[in-house]
């Protein structure tokens, strides 16, 4: 029963398919700092950050207010999907180097 439910759930998810944001906002990480560190997005619609990690070390893009934990390996890139946001400020950080890797998403 559990197995059937899992299979049905997986099938449903694959059928529905991922939704794609129209455009992505490029952000780079170098020397454990985000550039740009202030990111403006439109409120109420999904958006996407294309994060390129130019450091040797992996980093975890971490934000409880954005509900995101995403590891981006060293010298690689990853897409961080932002859900539709209420207007406001949403801080994020690189969890492994939080002294310097800080930023904020501003939805307006």
Partner 1 sequence: MLSSLIIVFREVIEAGLIVGIVLAATQGVPRRSFWVSVGIASGVVGACLVAAFAGELASLFQGNGQELFNASVLLLAVAMLTWHNVWMAGHGREMAREMRSMGAEVSAGRRTLTAMAIVVGVAVLREGSEVVLFLYGIAAQGGTTTAAMLTGGALGLAAGAAVSALMYFGLLSIPAHRLFSVTGWLITLLAAGMASQAVLFLQNAGYLQFGMMPLWDTSWLLSDDSIAGRLLHTLIGYTDQPDGLQLAAYLFAIAAIVALMRVINPPRRPVAAVVASPAE
CB contact at 8 A, 80 and 68: yes
54 binds partner 1 (CB under 8 A): no
Residue from 26, 36, 84, 87 binding partner 1 (CB under 8 A): 84
Nearest to 92 by CA among 59, 57, 68, 58: 68
Nearest to 38 by CA among 107, 105, 108: 105
- Per-residue binder mask for partner 1 (CB under 8 A), 10-29, x = binder: ---x--xxxxx---------
Closest distance to partner 1 from the beta carbon of 62 (Å): 10
Contacting positions for partner 1 (CB under 8 A): 1-3, 6, 9, 13, 16-20, 46, 56-60, 64-65, 67-68, 70-74, 76, 78-79, 81, 83-84, 86, 95-99
């Amino acid at each position: 029963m559990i197995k059937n439910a899992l299979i049905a759930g997986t099938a449903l998810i694959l059928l529905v398919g991922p939704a794609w944001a129209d455009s992505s906002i490029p952000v780079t990480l170098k020397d454990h700092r985000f550039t740009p560190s202030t990111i403006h997005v439109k409120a109420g619609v999904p958006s996407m950050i294309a994060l390129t990690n130019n450091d040797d070390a992996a980093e975890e893009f971490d934000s409880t207010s954005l509900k995101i934990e995403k590891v981006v390996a060293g010298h690689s890139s990853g897409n961080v999907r932002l859900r539709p946001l209420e207007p406001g400020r949403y801080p994020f950080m690189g969890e492994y180097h939080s002294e310097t890797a800080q930023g904020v998403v501003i939805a307006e």
